[in-house]
Amino acid sequence: MIEVGGERPYDVVVGRGLLADVAGLVPGAAQAAVVYAAPLAARAAEVADGLRAAGVRPLPVEVPDAEAGKTVAVAADVWDALGAAAFTRTDVVVGVGGGAVTDLAGYAAASWLRGVRWVPVSASLLGMVDAAVGGKTGVNTAAGKNLVGAFHPPAGVLADVDLLDTLPPADLRAGLAEVVKCGFIADPAILDLVEADPAAAVDPRSAALHELVVRAVRVKAEVVAGDLRESGRREILNYGHTLAHAIEQVQGYRWRHGDAVAVGLVFAAALGHLAGRLDAETAARHARTLRLLDLPTTYAADAWPRLRQVMAVDKKARAGALRFVVLDALAAPTILTAPPESTLAAAYAAVAG
């Protein structure tokens, strides 16, 4: 169990066989909306059974899978379901799925009655180490990813690693991009674990993967505890994400988030190096480590003009100036503001494939 501190502290429970334990995180709830996509119907039913056994009435709410469900229109469908069930402030929204579903469920909870309790039950590695922890909720719009949302800490988080047993290998690998990111910005032991045994890192039953999950959650918990609203240090969690979000938008969200982050990490490392911040060896280590996990490290060479245009509306931008998370050294993240266009283009050359 990992505590996320701050003004509204909560626990992240990492373990196996946790799906029946949601009710323990939300005492006093009379009913729970269980938001899920079709591929997770059986797991959502297990959560519902556990709630029912604890005296909480489950309300199943099925939504489209992945990024297709992370829209204002789908959020409105969830609100309609909550309204039809006469949802009150003592009730709870439970999101069962990957990061897209938990982001959506959290946003529905944040906006219903100006905030009801919610619990993410992560069914993906990406969700466990990133989307479910930190209280950032939201949906995508035509203008970009996660531009509409709210900061709304959950009542608790369940990371049941049993759910990784049936996760497609490509999705597991993509989730590891966020884990590797945590290694570069805060906990280099993560990188050592991956480099020592890449096969164990992608084995859902291995002790190594369990440790990687715990270490990544601890990194995020420590950062968000002191900066819920991303007004300061929390920005470091966006390392690699400026280019990643642009890639996702250009791809129509058909790329996995973690795959885009992997490319974004290599770009951010090159940018830090070209800006005179990061040494060449640590910059090169990014692509080397990601390739051990069979993650992408390149993107289309001719895509830069469109990607640059999309990055102009990145959430970290201030007064029209782009701001990037870069490294001064391993585990020493900082902000680089308004780098020259020539430097940006040169950094993109490092990922142009």
Structural domain including 20 reads 2-166
Nearest residue to 129 via CA among 94, 164, 104: 164
How many degrees, rounded to 5, is the angle at CA 281 between CA 279 and CA 282?
Answer: 70
Q: Identify the domain boundary among 140, 166, 192.
A: 166
Among the residue ranges 34-43, 141-150, 212-221, the one predicted with the least confidence is 141-150
Q: Identify the domain boundary among 103, 136, 166.
A: 166
Q: How confident is the model at residue 49 (pLDDT cuts 50, 70, 90)?
A: very high
Residue 96 marked as a ligand binder: no
Count Cβ atoms below 10 Å from residue 246 Cβ, excluding itself. Answer: 27
Residue 49 marked as a ligand binder: no
Q: Identify the domain boundary among 145, 166, 187.
A: 166
Residues in contact with 74: Cβ distance below 8 Å, sequence separation at least 6, in sequence order: 63, 64, 104, 139
Q: Which whole-number Å values give the CA distances from 19 to 5, 86, 215, in the listed order?
A: 24, 25, 22
Residue 260 marked as a ligand binder: no
The answer on 19 and 30 residing in a single domain is yes
Residue 84 marked as a ligand binder: no
Q: What is the DSSP string of 215-256?
A: HHHHHHHHHHHT-TTSSSGGGGGGTTHHHHHHHHHHTTT-S-
The answer on 193 and 341 residing in a single domain is yes
How many degrees, rounded to 5, is the angle at CA 214 between CA 272 and CA 160?
Answer: 125
Residue 102 marked as a ligand binder: yes
Residue 279 marked as a ligand binder: no
Query: DSSP 3-state helix, strand, coil percentages of the chain (rounded to 5)?
Result: 50, 20, 30
CATH number at 107 reads 3.40.50.1970
Q: How confident is the model at residue 219 (pLDDT cuts 50, 70, 90)?
A: very high
Residue 103 marked as a ligand binder: yes
Residue 24 marked as a ligand binder: no
Give tens-digit pLDDT for 105-152.
Answer: 999 999 999 999 999 998 899 989 987 787 889 999 888 778 899 999
The answer on 142 and 87 residing in a single domain is yes
The answer on 309 and 273 residing in a single domain is yes
CATH number at 300 reads 1.20.1090.10
Total number of domains in the chain: 2
Residue 283 marked as a ligand binder: no
Q: What distance in Å separates the CA atoms of residue 218 and residue 204, rounded to the nearest whole number?
A: 19
Supply the pTM of this predicted model. 0.88
The answer on 343 and 265 residing in a single domain is yes
Residue 178 marked as a ligand binder: yes
